[in-house]
Amino acid sequence: MSDVRPHGSLLPRLLLGALLAGAPPVEAHAQSNSASNSARDTTRIAPVVTGRSMVSTKLGIVATSQPLASAAGAQILAAGGNAIDAAIAANAVLAITEPMMNGIGGDLFAIVYEARTGKVHALNASGWAASGVTAELVASKSQNGRMPQRGVWSITVPGAIAGWDALRTRFGTMTFAELLEPAIWHAETGFAVGEVTARLWAGAERQANPEFRRVYTTGGKAPAPGAWLRNPDYAKSLRRIAAEGKKGFYEGETARAILSTIAAEGGTMTAADLTEFAPEWTSTITTEYRGWTVHELPPNSQGLAALMMLDIMSHFPIAEYGFLSTKAMHVEIEAKKLAYADLLRYIGDPKFSQLPVAQLMSREHAAARAKLVDPAKANCSVPPAALGGIEQGESETVYLSTIDKDGNIVSLIQSNYSAFGSGIVAPGTGFVLHNRGGLFTLEPGRPNTIAPRKRPLHTIIPAFMTRGDVRIGFGIMGGWNQSQAHAQFVSNIADFGMNIQEALEASRFSKRTFDGCDVDIEDGVSPPVIQALRAMGHDVRLSNGRFTDTYGYGQAVMSNGAGVHFGASEPRHDGMAALEPPPLTRRPR
């Protein structure tokens, strides 16, 4: 029996899901300059069937990739904290329970929706390169003449703690001592390693730094699922922050350990590089897609690529093509190539060069790029636009989203970049230093060429979208997968009326390279669609099983505008969306 469903049965079901979730109904859009609508694509599959339901409440929700982190955030909400407080507490626990992905030795970006004012705030807490570091110096230390992806030359100043401090100071209601208490408890008492986390932890066995192996392995072996681990050194680092705020990280014992370790490896980072670093409050960049306003962080992040993808996709009737249809997937894959080609050519740290953000986000630019999509053939070599080298790398990242009873939302992402970052742990600190500098290029004269106190082009991006009174904080981690995953999530909601759980669980594609026609496609896409894409020239690589880490892991929270809040955490990871418990008037017996 065929799994192919007629298009007429698809949209009503999805519209019903959107209405039940409190979202406004979604219409199919067709633009006059789109491909012909006369021939319907019959090679599509049924709507996504989720493995989990959304959670819902009028109180708060914390969605993370680790149950202990979600529970810690919910605990903070129950104690009177808000969404910002909960996000910091959850992030601190994630750093102990998922250390390959994130930690206080990494960077942070966040979007904060302030319900009282209706304003959207963006925080860039990405650290800069060390003083004294130049492309020429790093090239002389590199074995292949390219930007090192591990070791001391890949380390930039960690921005996460400065980010926590900025969030807490501006919007938080609790002290660091209160917010870090759950993470300190887990670090000192111990925690059980999750199933997916244990698989990702296996990379620890390949790290050479002796302090790293002492902290993150047992006898040189990574922990198995359920293994009980403690990290008292991490607890000590957190206690310094709890007592002294950000000075407890960027100055004093922790800072001295970081600087002495980097110096012993030949690096050039100075005490002033740590103490003088400050995160940046900025504005989001936005685009409109099918009536939704989508927010991303501006450069130096890759969020621009998600918006450019959506702008290109808006020129095609994706909803009429059908969910996971040949035409829809072809357009989205080609839009990814076009957007990323521009991103890699023109984007870096805006403090060091004038970036053509307005040109890249213009309607004229999107229309011109959309015309380059051949409806019958994949493009295997996409040059950047003519507006008058970067390592592809990987990314190990955590994304979390929180909402409180008042409707404040935090969309936060935090990362080491690669699994266990640089592979270097400063003695006594209990956390790995990230390798975000690996995203610089050594090619002279580029916006992303490494330079002293310059921030690299960043892969990690939180996101936020609104339509009417509906507010959604969402994100999907995974290196260069992120912008393309964001665009697919938005399309799932805007084009197909999915709720946030369906939009996260839906099968995705991921093209992690920047040239060629290779593309990874997750299980769940029908064989006729795969065959048709290959006939168009796409070099399709099928995943081995459903829910692999190739396609990233995401979370989402939503307010439906009527006081009901929803949370979602996809089953590709160990996570959960935890509900704030109701207040108890007396102790249960």
- Contact predicate 296/413, CB 8 Å: no
Between strands 518-521 and 539-542, the pairing is: parallel
* Sheet containing 518-521: order of strands: 509-510, 518-521, 539-542
Q: Are 73 and 527 in contact (CB under 8 A)?
A: no
The whole-angstrom separation of Cα 20 and Cα 503 is: 15
| Residues in CB range of 406: below 8 A, 6 or more apart | 82, 115, 116
* Cβ burial 438-465 (10 Å sphere, 16+ → b, else e): bbbbbeeebbbbbbebbbbbbbbbbbbb
DSSP letter for each residue of 144-170: SSS--SSSGGG-----HHHHHHHHHHH
Please list, residue by residue across 529-564, b when 16 or more beta carbons sit within 10 angstroms of its beta carbon and e when fewer do. bbebbeebebebeebeeebebbbbbbbbbbbbbeee
DSSP-derived letter for residue 449 is: B
Type of residue numbered 151? G
Please state, in angstroms and rounded to a whole number, the distance separating the CA atoms of residues 404 and 116. 12
Question: Choosing from 97, 326, 397, 466, which is the catalytic residue?
Answer: 397
The H-assigned helical ranges of 172-207 are: 176-179, 181-189, 195-201
DSSP-assigned beta bridge partners for residue 191: 229
The helix (H) or strand (E) run that includes residue 494 is helix 481-494
- 397 assigned to active site: yes
DSSP letter for each residue of 383-440: PPP----------EEEEEEEE-TT--EEEEEEEEESTTTTSEE-TTT-SEEP-GGGGS
Q: How distant is the alpha carbon of residue 194 from its chain centre?
A: 20
Query: What is the spatial distance between Cα 341 and Cα 352, in angstroms, rounded to a whole number?
Result: 20
Just list the catalytic residues: 397
